[in-house]
Amino acid sequence: MRKPELKLRLSLYQKPMEEDAYNSQSKESAESKQGSAEFKSELHSLAKFRHPNVVAILSYAEDGAERCLVYEFMPNGSVRDRLNRKNNTPALTWSQRHRIAADVARGMHYIQGAFSDKPLFHFDLKTDNVLLDAHFNAKVSDFGLFRAAQHLDEKGCICTQLVQGGAHQIVQGAAPYMCPEFFEEGRMTNKTAVHAFGMILLELLTAEKPSTKLKSKARKAVTNQAIAGILDSTLRPTEAEHQDMSEMGSLALDCLADESDERPFFGSILTLLDS
């Protein structure tokens, strides 16, 4: 058991670790709702993921109640960092932002269908958890907050206790991304992550941090056909790009619909973004 622990430490500390680059480690505390056996079973399945838009798990270690996952090195950090232009990095171009949106949709479409016998839910899809490789390809990360649904109810939902007890920190950190049915009933469906994706689209358009205020601003801009008024000031779109941005704004609001049945599936989203 000592060798795997040594390999884990080498993978964490021997690679170049810039402040805003991610050779990620995700820790699960003793407060985790998943038992050790269930966690290991799901990790075994997740470790098989090999998709261009899903961060690869390289290693795993468990020390008592503490668990640690190690992901592949992502030198351009998170999408949120790049939108913030952390460390004076250049602003993302429209082409890069559009590709990021398509990459996330592609990764989530793959993830949701990865298990043939049960759907997989991501509890914390947000720009902090979308990482960029050396070529600015986007990859979905943070597997510590994935959960495979063992049993769905008649509406295709999974009940979660994330809104209860000691898990309030997760909800607070991701509150702008969470859909109404999660807050009201503690239920998640394959449309829950679509709601979060809608907020990610608005962030890509505006570079603003996620909020209900941003959603309201976007709805007003799209309704008035005035998307230019909320765009990131670093963007200088051509006429064709402006049309793409308007369409992405409309798609974002579709994804942010209060009723889950009114949100598109990731497959449909991907078709629109790739067209």
Mean pLDDT, all residues of the chain: 79
Q: Is the pLDDT of residue 132 over 90?
A: yes
Read off the pLDDT band of 9 (50, 70, 90). very low
3-state helix vs strand vs coil in the chain, percent to 5: 50, 15, 35
Number of domains within the chain: 1
Q: Please, which residues have CB within 8 angstroms of residue 63's CB and are 6 or more apart in sequence?
A: 5
Of 90, 68, 71, nearest to 15 by C-alpha is 71
Q: Compute the distance between CA of residue 246 and CA of residue 156 in angstroms, rounded to an integer.
A: 32
SS3 letters across 166-210: HHHHHHHHHHHHCCHHHHHHCEECCCHHHHHHHHHHHHHHHCCCC
Which CATH number fits the domain that encloses residue 218?
1.10.510.10
Could you list the residue range(s) of the whole structural domain that residue 157 is in? 77-274
Query: Is the residue at 72 inside a domain?
Result: no
Q: Is residue 241 part of a domain?
A: yes
Which H or E run contains 132? strand 130-132
- Say what the pLDDT of residue 3 is: 38
Higher pLDDT, 228 or 187: 228
Given a cut of 60, whether residue 175 has pLDDT beyond it is yes
**Model pTM?**
0.80
CA angle centred on 218, ends 242 and 99, rounded to 5°: 50
Task: Report yes or no on 37 lying in a domain.
Answer: no
Higher pLDDT, 67 or 245: 245
Residue 35: its pLDDT value, please?
59
Residues linked to residue 74 through DSSP beta bridges, in sequence order: 22
Q: How confident is the model at residue 29 (pLDDT cuts 50, 70, 90)?
A: very low
pLDDT digits (tens, 9 = 90+) for 231-267: 999 999 999 999 999 999 999 999 999 999 999 999 9
Task: Establish whether 124 is a catalytic residue.
Answer: yes
What pLDDT does residue 119 have?
A: 67
Between 181 and 155, where is the model more confident? 181
32 pLDDT exceeds 90?
A: no
Query: At residue 44, what is the residue type?
Result: H
Q: What is the pLDDT of residue 235?
A: 97
User: Would you say residue 59 lies in a domain?
Assistant: no
Residue 204 or 174, more confident:
204
Cβ pair 178, 196 in contact under 8 A: yes
Q: Which of 22 and 274 is assigned the larger pLDDT?
A: 274
Distance of alpha carbon 25 from alpha carbon 70, whole angstroms: 5
| Catalytic residue from among 20, 63, 81, 124 | 124
Per residue in 73-129, pLDDT tens? 999 999 999 999 999 999 999 999 999 999 999 999 998 887 666 667 777 899 999
